[in-house]
Amino acid sequence: MASKQRTSNRRQFLQTALVGATGIIFTGCDLAQPKRSQTTETPQQTQEEHVIHVNPPQQSQKVAEQTGFTEREQRQIDQLKRELTNPNPTPNIVNTNNQQQMRLVEEAMRQIDPSLVGRNVLFGPRWLEVMGDGKPMPRAPFQQWRDRTDMVYDAYADLVGQGPGEQGEMQKILIDLRSNASFRTANVAGMASSNLVRINKDHPSFSRSSIPGIVRYNSLDFVLMHELAHCFTNGKRFTAEPESICDLLMSYVLENVQGARIGTSGGGGVNEPAEGTQFRKRQLDRVIANLRANRLATFSNNPLGGTAYDYALLAPVDVVGWEPYKQVFRSYNNENYAHDFTYSGGDSRARRAREFFDRLAHFSGKPDLMVSSAMGRQLFDRHFGAGAGVVATPRGEGI
């Protein structure tokens, strides 16, 4: 009964959160259908510089009276404002571990600048101070980007049927901008947990592909979309290879959110729009190239977008559409789901992957979905079937 109640609560949270979202086209969605805004999506180019002001400590009591927070909470908010606006922050990150703390973080952001606060996402103040080339970010493109990131959040929640919280609850996500010192290695472009995304402003991809696309093309950022997707996969039962699941979530956004597009992830000063199915097909082309070169392995020892798991996740979309995927994700929270198998042998990640694909075959009504082509048969057998040592036994057999 507790599990049923959590499922009911999760659905209620999702229905509430998605009401009022703008610009999203969902097909076969069993959540609330938002109306599309009629306002233009073309950013008004400005060169407005934004200066961040932090309320001095002596104003804390007055602000507390206006906001309804206690004096103690306002002191915490003031500390958060100092930490969030520090141009040279320490590697320590703002605590986002619980809803109460996130409430204070949101208020700190609101007192610094209300434009930092979206419906679902909170952008750290350092986003207003710097572009990839060191210039202040124009206000109009920033606000449009914030709103479009809210729409990405909505789309991710729509696909997986739950929010980013550890128990699937809807909660806001802090998107912070940090320096190399905040990461274990300078090669990391970003990191994410359930409700925190950190983007490395010193990483080459930041200036080459992120900001120019935001300002000039009103596009979404590859790194930010990818890290935000991790918030919906971390710790979830359906995740065998989080990187590939992120590719699936990003594909859903680009194929179902009106006007969504990203710049090429390689950057190099070019930010060509990638819309609709182009991103997914580009990922599939990488898998095929690796297969032909006999470089295809599986799971986290592979380059991003080059795994067998990518192929098995992305290729069936053209055949079955997105609705069976929604049913698969939701089935992991449905205690009445009884069409699965028992799995033994092989790597635990391979078993989880096989389970996901078997559920997709069930909900799509295509039991041979993964072996319908020579490549599909080869990949499936090698990485998720007999070649991987995984044995799937229908429940009830052998009893």
Per-residue pLDDT, 60 = 58
Per-residue pLDDT, 105 = 94
Per-residue pLDDT, 298 = 55
Q: Which residues pair with 345 in a beta bridge?
A: none
Contact 291, 307 (CB under 8 A): no
* Token reading at 104: 């204070």
Q: What is the Cα–Cα distance from 388 to 380, expressed in whole angstroms? A: 9
CA dist list (Å): 367 to 215, 295, 336, 339, 360: 46, 28, 20, 12, 9
Q: What is the Cα–Cα distance from 126 to 235, expressed in whole angstroms? A: 29
- The CB density around residue 83, as the number of other CB atoms within 10 Å, is 17
Which residues make Cβ contacts (< 8 Å) with residue 304, sequence separation at least 6? 243, 247
Query: 221 exposed, middle or buried (CB, 10 Å; 0-12, 13-18, 19+)?
Result: buried
> For the chain, which residues score pLDDT lower than 70?
1-67, 90-92, 131-135, 186, 207-213, 263-274, 294-306, 371-372, 396-399
3-class secondary-structure state, position 68: coil
* Token reading at 314: 């992305």
Per-residue pLDDT, 80 = 92
Per-residue pLDDT, 57 = 55
SS percent in the chain: helix, strand, coil, step 5: 50, 10, 40
Per-residue pLDDT, 180 = 80
Per-residue pLDDT, 385 = 86
Q: What is the Cα–Cα distance from 26 to 19, expressed in whole angstroms? A: 13
Which residues make Cβ contacts (< 8 Å) with residue 251, sequence separation at least 6? 277, 279, 280, 283, 314, 317
